[in-house]
Structure 1
Amino acid sequence: MTDANANPLHKALFRILRPLARLLLRNGVPFGEFSELVKRAYVEAALEDFSDGRRKPTDSRAAVMTGLTRKEVKRQREILAGQNPARESRSNANRASRVVSGWVHDPAYQADDKQPAMLDFEGAGSFTELVRKYSGDMTPRAVLDELMRVGVAVVEPDSGRLQLKQRAYVPAGDSEDMLQIFGEDVSDLVATIDHNLISRSAGKPPLFQRTLTYDNIPADVIERWREISAERSQALLEQLDDWLGPHDRQGSGSQGEGARKVRTGVGIFYFEEPIQPDTSGDKRS
């Protein structure tokens, strides 16, 4: 087996797995359970992403590619067929996010200045109608309780109408919805990097991927930097949302049966870690 210290891919994987291991341990997921999920992901990738497009991929071929036995491939394939985590229906987080997006972009729920209107809970043009239009079968009360819990919506004291305070729904903590977003965000980032690694040889244009990084910033600057980066990142996302949001066909009645659909977006994340002092005694030139 290749030495992990010499293999660039192994080095990159270890760096990815280190914070992932921390999250798994905090949530009580032992290695055996994680190992099962890895096997499942290997089998699904072998069966779906590496088919030649002419014939149905076989368990034998997947076993050769993954290093698993045919019996194990069959077991994992049957689990995938019964309950595929990669193809779950929309989570509550996605449903709540859809409601917020509809509130921002749908003219039926905007004020005269094109900003999100204050809504009655029931009636024509109400929050209840908004939820039924954008969230599927979630009850309006459940959606409102969640939006109020995270501070996205409030009840205006004088009128009793509902006001949108933030344009984005972000659940807090290690909740089920937050873990759903974690899975989507990390998956999207890895998929973009994978695309860019092979884009040149595949004759495809690379996807946008940039990171701003400094590693010698004084600690007394960090608090202000957090504020500035959050403010400007939010402003950029809102500008992009203003352009892309109106093109979303959800709830517009113009989705079309055979129309091709694309999932797309832009992700921004902030990172910060202390630099450990070099105790090796080596001096860098």
Structure 2
Amino acid sequence: MDNTLRTAFYRIVKALMRILYRKGVALGDFTQLVKQAYVDVVEQELARSGERVTTSRIAAITGLTRKDVAQLREREAQETSQRYNRGVRVLTGWLHDTEFVDVTSGQPAILPFRGEQGSFERLVQRYSGDMSAFAMLDEMKRIQVARETPDGSVELLSQVYIPQGDEGEKAALLGMDVPLLITTIDHNLTTRDPLELRYQRKVSYDNLPQEALPEFRAFVRQDAQQLLLRFNDWLYRHDRDHTPGVQGTGQIQAGVGIFYFEQPAEPKEPEQ
């Protein structure tokens, strides 16, 4: 491993270690996950390139023993993001499905809880799978996305679904969002066609006063949210799950992520 890659990988692992330390995860558990991920990736890459996939071949590439590889190949990773995805689907339907949008304002309508048409119950049935309307309402109330009005209707309070108190759901977001960023960077490292580069930019300064940050946070929340909603509208119109008339081949996931960061700046070297 060259020094540049080593430094980059160390920074990624160090950031993850803060989470693992706080959650009390032992180093052995982390090491086992790394082994599992490496075996899974090598197996997938060999299959994709048309090479023969064997335990011996994977062991030779990873440096693991054949016994370790055989055991790891029998395990399957488990997804823990189902509840989050259901909430996002319900919110997206409420924002875009004309049955649940106010025809005058174009905004998400206040929905009666029950009813054959235009009700919260109908919305949940259409977009959440087998989750009950009561359970979905409790969840959306818990994270302050929706509320019950005095007459028993349901009102949308936020156009973004972000878990606020559930550590499990926040950890699930870690497992969904961080890999997307790394995959984009990996693509940009390996592609040879400049036209195929994926958008990857950031802006930052490292000598800001602490007092300036609250205004900047509010600025980012407002403007970034409006930009994401515009992207969301475009994607909704081109996604076959939500717009069945869309024509084309393949099944691709695409999107844009925006995140805010702040941290103490590293000391600057004195000028000579």
Q: Is this a same-fold pair by TM over 0.5?
A: yes
How far the C-alpha of 1:79 sits from its partner, in A, is 0.9
Alpha-carbon contact 1:134-1:250 (below 8 Å) kept:
no
**Residue pairs, 1:144-183, within 5 angstroms:** 144-157=137-150, 159-173=151-165, 175-183=167-175
1:273 corresponds in structure 2 to 263
Local SS of the residue matching 1:49: helix
1:106 corresponds in structure 2 to 97
What is the rounded CA distance, in whole Å, between the counterparts of 2:157 and 2:215 in structure 1?
Answer: 23
Give 4+ residue runs of structure 1 displaced > 4 Å after superposition: 251-256
1:205 corresponds in structure 2 to 196
Deviations 1:265-285 (A, max 9, x none): 10000000012546xxx6224
2:3 corresponds in structure 1 to 7
1:284 corresponds in structure 2 to 271
How far the C-alpha of 1:53 sits from its partner, in A, is 3.5
* 1:263 partnered with 2:268: no
* 1:40 partnered with 2:36: yes
How far the C-alpha of 1:243 sits from its partner, in A, is 1.5
1:24 corresponds in structure 2 to 20
How far the C-alpha of 1:50 sits from its partner, in A, is 3.6
How far the C-alpha of 1:70 sits from its partner, in A, is 1.3
Residue identity matched to 2:219: I
1:66 corresponds in structure 2 to 62
**Residue pairs, 1:228-243, within 5 angstroms:** 228-243=219-234
**Cα separation, partners in 2 of 1:24 and 1:255, compared to 1, 3 Å:** farther
What is the rounded CA distance, in whole Å, between the counterparts of 1:109 and 1:173 in structure 2?
Answer: 28
Deviations 1:230-269 (A, max 9, x none): 111111101111221233333666699x963211110000
Alpha-carbon contact 2:143-2:165 (below 8 Å) kept:
no
What is the rounded CA distance, in whole Å, between the counterparts of 2:75 and 2:41 in structure 1?
Answer: 14
Match of 2:120 among 104, 124, 127: 127
What is the rounded CA distance, in whole Å, between the counterparts of 2:22 and 2:81 in structure 1?
Answer: 26
**Cα separation, partners in 2 of 1:55 and 1:15, compared to 1, 3 Å:** closer
Alpha-carbon contact 1:155-1:162 (below 8 Å) kept:
yes
State the superposition RMSD in angstroms. 2.2
What is the rounded CA distance, in whole Å, between the counterparts of 2:146 and 2:179 in structure 1?
Answer: 29
Deviations 1:163-203 (A, max 9, x none): 11111110024522211111110000000000000012x78
Deviations 1:51-97 (A, max 9, x none): 354344111111111111111111100013xxx23xx3851001101
1:118 corresponds in structure 2 to 110
**Cα separation, partners in 2 of 1:239 and 1:253, compared to 1, 3 Å:** closer
What is the rounded CA distance, in whole Å, between the counterparts of 1:239 and 1:154 in structure 2?
Answer: 25
Alpha-carbon contact 1:91-1:177 (below 8 Å) kept:
no
**Cα separation, partners in 2 of 1:17 and 1:114, compared to 1, 3 Å:** same
How far the C-alpha of 1:13 sits from its partner, in A, is 0.8
Name the TM-score, length of structure 1 as normaliser: 0.88
2:74 corresponds in structure 1 to 78
Local SS of the residue matching 1:51: helix
2:53 corresponds in structure 1 to 57
Match of 1:142 among 128, 135, 148: 135
Deviations 1:90-120 (A, max 9, x none): 5100110100000001111111122111111
**Cα separation, partners in 2 of 1:174 and 1:152, compared to 1, 3 Å:** closer
Residue identity matched to 1:141: F
Structure 1 unaligned regions, length at least 5: none
How far the C-alpha of 1:37 sits from its partner, in A, is 0.6
Structure 2 unaligned regions, length at least 5: none
